[in-house]
Amino acid sequence: MDFDYDLFVIGGGSGGVRAARVAAAEGAKVGLAEEYRMGGTCVIRGCVPKKLMVFASEYREMFENARSYGWDVKDGDFHWPKFQSHLASELDRLEEIYRNLLRSSDVAVHDSRARLVDPHTIELADGDKKTAKHILIATGGYPVKPDLPNADLGITSNDIFNLKELPKSILIIGGGYIACEFACILNGMGVEVVQYYRGAQILRGFDDEGRGLVADLMREKGIDLRTGTNIVEMKRASDHNPDYEGGTSSDAAMIEDHEVITRKQTSDKTGPIWVKATNGTERVFDQVLFATGRSPNTQDMGLEEAGVKLGRRHEIIVDDYSQTSAPSIYAVGDVTNRVQLTPVAIREGMAFVETVFKGNPTKPDHELIPSAIFTQPEFGTIGLTEEEARDQEPIEVYCTSFRPMQTAFAGRPDRILMKLVVSRETRKVLGCHIVSPYAGEMIQLAGIAVKMGATKEDFDRTVAVHPTMSEEIVTMKTPMRTA
Ligand code: NDP
């Protein structure tokens, strides 16, 4: 049978674009459909704009630190519209790079939503149908809000980059990557941040000591982090009390513990949001951000009709080679709900091409993936947490915590954590956890050693680079504890 394409990719994010380009480079005739902007979550409304916001938010502390180093630096105001317009043009530039890469790879781009008609046929939004020998679903995910009346009053990480103005106060719901990163970013930008997390400690699944230090430092830097707390009710402040006039951050701080709101209403379409928490407190915020997880983008795509099985969380079920239950259809990235990280989606896309177009069956490697949470300070991690490792085998824990030279000189109480979890039997480093400025950069490099199976003695044999923060990772001589 003749097909229009050898490969049709649905979704122009990190995984889809990489797979399309690499398959085209192998001589495949490739088409790709994207309904929104090229680049996907990572480039358009995730990693990239988030990291630029991290950079923007760090200047306030840097200016303060600079004074301790003898610089005559005046306090300045952060100008959100100026940053935002620069951010928008940077994202335009990056999107254009993605488009050019596809163009120069001879991938036919369809700026359209696409859905499956059968295991080899795709229908575009205008009704045009395309056939393909293989189809790759790389549609990513979307942020979800809890099932709560009026949850639509809140925003998600998708909206934050497009806010017309920075709120004076914000309530962030959640304790995962996105909640903690935006709590730090917005706090750095001068927004009054309150964060509710329903569990006992933020960043569930990460090393306990690291989580504890990040939480402590977030609080020390001014974030009002409330654990064991969730939202139970939300309304426009003007609906909660018709006399309400509209709020500001200072109102948000003050209106607590059932304090009565006594202002005149301005608008019921926009304006501050009244929130009630599980602990009974009531407060008003300019914005509420739900960072309560992400769900795979599988709705209304004709997947099940085409024979693609979905899991309980609406994810596409794939085998080790990213093949779905319909043999001609594969899926990579967040839509499969394996590991929701850009570089993992890219690896999965490349393994798919290796398997299907290069005749070399390749499983993407999901073992020992380094990652970083871009909180302030950052939290870099690879391998097992202390808690996971001690359930598995006898371990030694090497751990140090200290004040980094740069900010200690500026009188800041910041602390760093460096931790190695070591197998007592094989001496291998099973996990490495770093809470520190630039921990994301550090864990990338430490990750190579851990991935190679380095032992504690390999770390010890490496000479320290002095004076650095990361030298502590090779100078920890005595285990802090064994388990
Ligand atoms: P996460 O799954 O990391 O966190 C979701 C948070 O929301 C958890 O704290 C969860 O609590 C809480 N939550 C879930 N449902 C509710 C509810 N109904 N009410 C209150 N709280 C709730 O998701 P994120 O959205 O933060 O991030 C999604 C993924 O994106 C991450 O897993 C990560 O893979 C990726 N990502 C990676 C980044 C990086 O590499 N730096 C940055 C940003 C995202 P509980 O713990 O109790 O379940």
CATH topology of domain 5-142+294-356: FAD/NAD(P)-binding domain (3.50.50)
pLDDT digits (tens, 9 = 90+) for 180-206: 999 999 999 999 999 999 999 999 999
What pLDDT, on a 0 to 100 scale, did the predictor assign at position 76? 86
245 forms beta bridges with: none
374 Cα to the center of ligand 1, angstroms: 14
Q: Strand, coil or helix: what is 342? A: helix
pLDDT digits (tens, 9 = 90+) for 243-287: 665 544 444 443 443 333 333 333 345 799 999 999 999 999 999
* Nearest-angstrom CA–CA distance, 84 and 138: 28
Asked if the domains at 5-142+294-356 and 371-482 fall in one CATH topology, the answer is no
| Residue closest by Cα to atom 23 of ligand 1 | 293
What pLDDT, on a 0 to 100 scale, did the predictor assign at position 245? 55
Out of 43, 178, 208, mutate this one to test ligand 1's pocket (max ligand atoms within 8 Å of CB): namely: 178
Mean pLDDT over residues 35-64, rounded?
A: 97
Domain boundaries, the chain: 5-142+294-356, 151-290, 371-482
Cα-trace Rg, the chain: 25
User: Helix axis angle, 80-104 relative to 14-25, nearest 10°?
Assistant: 20
* Nearest-angstrom CA–CA distance, 319 and 296: 17
pTM of the model: 0.94
141 Cα to the center of ligand 1, angstroms: 12
Nearest in space to 475 (alpha carbons), one of 418, 437, 409, 414: 418
Mean pLDDT over residues 424-432, rounded?
A: 98
Residue 193: phi, psi to the nearest 5? -110, 125
H/E/C letters for each residue in 434-456? EEECCHHHHHHHHHHHHHCCCEH
| Residue closest by Cα to atom 38 of ligand 1 | 177
User: DSSP H helical segments within 110-176, as ranges?
Assistant: 157-160
What pLDDT, on a 0 to 100 scale, did the predictor assign at position 1? 78
423 Cα to the center of ligand 1, angstroms: 30
Residue 416: phi, psi to the nearest 5? -120, 150
In the predicted structure, residue 345 carries a pLDDT above the cut 60: yes
Nearest in space to 284 (alpha carbons), one of 323, 246, 320: 246
What pLDDT, on a 0 to 100 scale, did the predictor assign at position 251? 42
Residues 6+ apart with CB under 8 A from 187: 57, 193, 218, 221, 222, 223, 376
pLDDT digits (tens, 9 = 90+) for 458-476: 999 999 999 999 999 999 9
In the predicted structure, residue 208 carries a pLDDT above the cut 70: yes
pLDDT digits (tens, 9 = 90+) for 128-156: 999 999 999 999 999 999 999 999 999 99
Out of 198, 278, 297, mutate this one to test ligand 1's pocket (max ligand atoms within 8 Å of CB): namely: 198
Q: What is the CATH number of domain 151-290?
A: 3.50.50.60
pLDDT digits (tens, 9 = 90+) for 381-418: 999 999 999 999 999 999 999 999 999 999 999 999 99
What pLDDT, on a 0 to 100 scale, did the predictor assign at position 382? 98
Q: To the nearest whole number, what is the mean pLDDT of the chain?
A: 94
What pLDDT, on a 0 to 100 scale, did the predictor assign at position 270? 77
278 Cα to the center of ligand 1, angstroms: 20
Position 338 confidence tier, pLDDT thresholds 50, 70, 90 = very high
Which class is 371-482 in CATH?
Answer: alpha beta
* Secondary element (H or E) of residue 18: helix 14-25
Beta strand residue intervals within 286-394, DSSP E: 287-290, 294-296, 329-331, 371-373, 378-383
pLDDT digits (tens, 9 = 90+) for 220-236: 999 999 999 999 999 99
Instruction: Tally Cβ neighbours within 10 Å of residue 159.
Output: 14
What pLDDT, on a 0 to 100 scale, did the predictor assign at position 243? 66
Q: Which ligand 1 atom minimizes the distance to the CA of 341?
A: 34
Contact 339, 327 (CB under 8 A): no
Out of 52, 159, 340, 371, mutate this one to test ligand 1's pocket (max ligand atoms within 8 Å of CB): namely: 340
Q: Which ligand 1 atom minimizes the distance to the CA of 199?
A: 47
Contact 307, 112 (CB under 8 A): no
What pLDDT, on a 0 to 100 scale, did the predictor assign at position 86? 97
Buried b (16+ CB within 10 A) or exposed e, 148-158: beebebbbbbe
Tokens 């839509």 sit on residue: 335
